[in-house]
């Protein structure tokens, strides 16, 4: 290394190690570690193997040994998730080093056990989602194929896990869990969104479901559908006001085709069909059928392009 480079590198190290030069992106304030994205990935992999034994994790399970594998996995889940829940709670805790934080720590095992207790219900709901996906897809050849390789089921599974943790008021982890699914599938469902049974997302890339969305039974969304917010009111300091209901309500048995954008606290009435590539910022009554304006045919000479 030449002197000039040595100088550049030493200066950069000093600069990046100087807490006074951080404006806002500072290190986590106290010595408690943040949740680990890598650990969370292992935890979700474990839950997937618990919910769908034989499909993920061990692939030679047999009925008479299932309980051992299930027991081992759930015991591991209890240990590993407790630790991440503790970190998530500590992250929000104002005084992580004193007795207060000890209280936080005591919460994590019981929250984790409460979550684990819900797993059989989650499996039950997911069975409905899988059945609905199978019923609605002529290309699907078996429910096993769907569990195995459909990104919609992948994303909904992560959402239902994350939503349960949200209900238990565990901070930070739910968002990490849904973002994992987002990265793997292109489907971005906020953990706060409330979604009923029999939910189908087909293909799914580009789907966005905002935090205050409410989705009824047996709804089907195609790729690229957004359930988003319009612009939102600001408070006196010019910051967005938090907690306002700002995303759509989609009632039972609605289908929304690819790439359509629905914004604001509007209601899509039950049984409606919304065509693709539509921009929709108003409510529509039950059994509506909404389509984009018919496209226009233009003259053109190749070479001009579009």
Q: Which 167-206 residues touch a second copy, going by CB under 8 A?
A: 171-172, 175-176, 179, 182-186, 188, 190, 192, 203, 205-206
Contact 278/243 with Cβ under 8 angstroms? no
The binding track of 246-285 with respect to a second copy, each residue x by CB under 8 A or -, is x----------xxxxx-x-------x-x-xxxxxxx--x-
Contact 142/210 with Cβ under 8 angstroms? no
Contact 260/224 with Cβ under 8 angstroms? yes
Phi, psi of 274 (to 5 degrees): -110, 120
- For position 94 contacting a second copy by CB under 8 A, the verdict is no
Residue 83 or 249 with smaller CB distance to a second copy: 83
Residues 115-134 interacting with a second copy (rule: CB under 8 A): 116-117, 119-120, 123-124, 126-127, 130-131
Binding a second copy by CB under 8 A: which of 133, 166, 213, 226?
A: 226
Residue 160 or 246 with smaller CB distance to a second copy: 246
- For position 14 contacting a second copy by CB under 8 A, the verdict is yes
Q: Using alpha carbons, list the distances in angstroms from residue 263 to 23, 121, 246, 281, 289.
A: 35, 31, 8, 5, 17
Q: Give me 196's structure tokens.
A: 């009923």
Stretch of 93-101, 157-165, 217-225 lying at the interface with a second copy (CB under 8 A): 217-225
Residue written as token pair 């319009």: 230
Calpha distance 7→84 (Å, rounded): 41
**Helix 63-92 × helix 173-185 angle, to 10°:** 120
- For position 57 contacting a second copy by CB under 8 A, the verdict is no
Binding a second copy by CB under 8 A: which of 222, 249, 268, 270?
A: 222
- For position 68 contacting a second copy by CB under 8 A, the verdict is yes
User: Closest distance between a second copy and the C-beta of residue 188, in Å?
Assistant: 5
User: Closest distance between a second copy and the C-beta of residue 292, in Å?
Assistant: 4
Q: Give me 282's structure tokens.
A: 């108003």
Residue 67 or 236 with smaller CB distance to a second copy: 67
- For position 141 contacting a second copy by CB under 8 A, the verdict is yes
Q: With residue 200 as reference, give the H or E element that holds it.
A: strand 200-202
- For position 302 contacting a second copy by CB under 8 A, the verdict is yes
Q: Using alpha carbons, list the distances in angstroms from residue 252 to 128, 153, 234, 246, 256.
A: 14, 19, 32, 19, 12
User: Closest distance between a second copy and the C-beta of residue 177, in Å?
Assistant: 9
- For position 42 contacting a second copy by CB under 8 A, the verdict is no
């Amino acid at each position: 290394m030449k002197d000039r480079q040595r100088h550049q590198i030493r200066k950069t190290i000093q600069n990046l190690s100087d807490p006074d030069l951080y404006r806002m992106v500072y290190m986590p304030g106290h010595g408690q570690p943040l949740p680990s994205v890598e650990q969370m990935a292992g935890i979700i992999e474990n839950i997937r193997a618990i919910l769908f034994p034989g499909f993920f994790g061990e692939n030679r399970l047999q009925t008479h040994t299932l309980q051992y594998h299930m027991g081992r996995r759930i015991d591991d889940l209890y240990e590993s998730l407790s630790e991440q829940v503790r970190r998530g709670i500590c992250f929000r805790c104002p005084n992580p080093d004193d007795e207060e934080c000890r209280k936080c720590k005591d919460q994590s095992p019981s929250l984790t056990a409460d979550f684990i207790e819900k797993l059989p219900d989650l499996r039950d709901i997911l069975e409905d989602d899988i059945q609905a996906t199978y019923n609605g897809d002529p290309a699907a050849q078996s429910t096993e194929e769907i569990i195995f390789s459909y990104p919609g089921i992948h994303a909904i599974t992560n959402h239902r896990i994350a939503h349960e943790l949200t209900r238990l008021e565990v901070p930070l982890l739910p968002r990490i869990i849904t973002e994992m699914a987002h990265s793997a599938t292109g489907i971005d469902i906020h953990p706060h969104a409330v979604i009923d049974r029999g939910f189908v997302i087909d293909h799914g890339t580009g789907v966005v479901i905002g935090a205050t969305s409410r989705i009824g039974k047996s709804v089907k969304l195609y790729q690229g559908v957004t359930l988003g917010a319009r612009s939102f009111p600001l408070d006196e300091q010019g910051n967005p006001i938090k907690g306002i209901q700002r995303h759509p309500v989609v009632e039972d048995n609605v289908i929304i085709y690819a790439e359509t954008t629905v914004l604001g606290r509007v209601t899509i009435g039950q049984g409606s069909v919304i065509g693709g590539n539509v921009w929709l910022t108003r409510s529509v009554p039950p059994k509506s059928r909404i389509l984009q304006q018919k496209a226009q045919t233009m003259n053109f000479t190749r070479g001009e392009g579009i």
